[in-house]
Amino acid sequence: MKDFKDKVIVVTGAGSGIGAAIAKEAVLHGMKVVLNDIDNKSVQKTLEEIKDMGGEGVTHTADISLIENVQELYDLTMDTYGRVDILVNNAGVAVSGPIWEIPIQDINWITEVNFLSRAYGMRVFIPKMIEQGTEAAVINVASTAGIMISPNGPMYHSTKAADVALAETTYLGLKARGINNVQVHVLCPAFIQTNIHESDRYRPERYASLDDPYYQSQEFKAGYIRSKRSVLAGMPIDSVGMTVFTALEENRFYIFTHPESIYPAGHRIKDMVNGNNPSSIKLL
């Protein structure tokens, strides 16, 4: 995709971090923005910043892991601009801890936000992109965690691996059916300085009760500290928007913020090819 001027981008989880950065880069490329986030204050702040840059857009405050809210985001986009050119399925949360200890609500929450929201977004927006017949793109924000393994965060790895597979198979599925105007991309960041370690703040009401004793456990506390340390030591956010738009222009499917992300992915594949059992490699 090369022509962005006056086109429309929809970004979920645009109140913070990577979503806000992609939305701002889109404005620098002349796009109009439709910004979703579960947190009203932060998404309004992103829109204010975009207006200060001379851009225009609208906001949608809702939990994007619910299909009715994805439909509402689509309706808002159509009512406001009548078209959609790029969908960025970005909203995400982090849950750590072993699968045999974490509360069931965490399994549901992370699956709904990190994975189901992407499937719903593609299901709802891609038909319009096909109907338009003009150049369009979907970017699923996965993670380097989606192409590598480690002993921590099994639900985070799993939901991100699902995001990668959903993007890859949809890419192939569109091509196999001769639909060439809709491109699919997957963004696999390694650690970037955002608020992802503070995900507990964005729990929807149905998963907000922290009464389960797990939330007082050493395992839970260690997971938070590990995540905070890694994220705060990550790459500054500044270049992420540009990395994404360069990949769109070059029509590159796999988008990495850290080129070295392919090494842990390669390590995993080597284990498979060589008939070894899974072995971990240090996180980036």
- Residues near ligand NAD (CB under 6 A): 12-13, 15-19, 36-39, 42, 63-65, 90-93, 113, 141, 143, 189, 191-192, 194-196, 202, 204, 231, 234
CA torsion, ordered 92, 19, 81, 169, to nearest 10 deg: -60
156 is catalytic: yes
Tokens found for residue 32: 């109009």
Give the nearer residue to ligand NAD in terms of CB position, either 135 or 157: 157
In angstroms, give the least distance from the CB of 178 to ligand NAD: 31
In angstroms, give the least distance from the CB of 158 to ligand NAD: 12
The Cα 117–Cα 96 span in angstroms is 20
The Cα 249–Cα 251 span in angstroms is 5
Give the nearer residue to ligand NAD in terms of CB position, either 135 or 244: 244
Give the nearer residue to ligand NAD in terms of CB position, either 51 or 228: 228
The Cα 92–Cα 97 span in angstroms is 17
The Cα 48–Cα 174 span in angstroms is 36
In angstroms, give the least distance from the CB of 137 to ligand NAD: 17
Interstrand relation of 136-141 and 182-188 (parallel, antiparallel or unpaired): parallel
The Cα 75–Cα 58 span in angstroms is 12
The Cα 221–Cα 118 span in angstroms is 29
Give the nearer residue to ligand NAD in terms of CB position, either 87 or 135: 87
Which candidate in 74, 81, 120, 156 is catalytic? 156
The Cα 116–Cα 94 span in angstroms is 15
Mutual angle of helices 17-28 and 40-52, in 10-degree steps: 20
In angstroms, give the least distance from the CB of 179 to ligand NAD: 26
Give the nearer residue to ligand NAD in terms of CB position, either 150 or 181: 150
The residue type found at 266 is G
In angstroms, give the least distance from the CB of 274 to ligand NAD: 27
Residue among 201, 189, 161, 165 at smallest CA distance from 257: 189
Tokens found for residue 224: 């938070």
Question: Catalytic residues, which ones?
Answer: 156
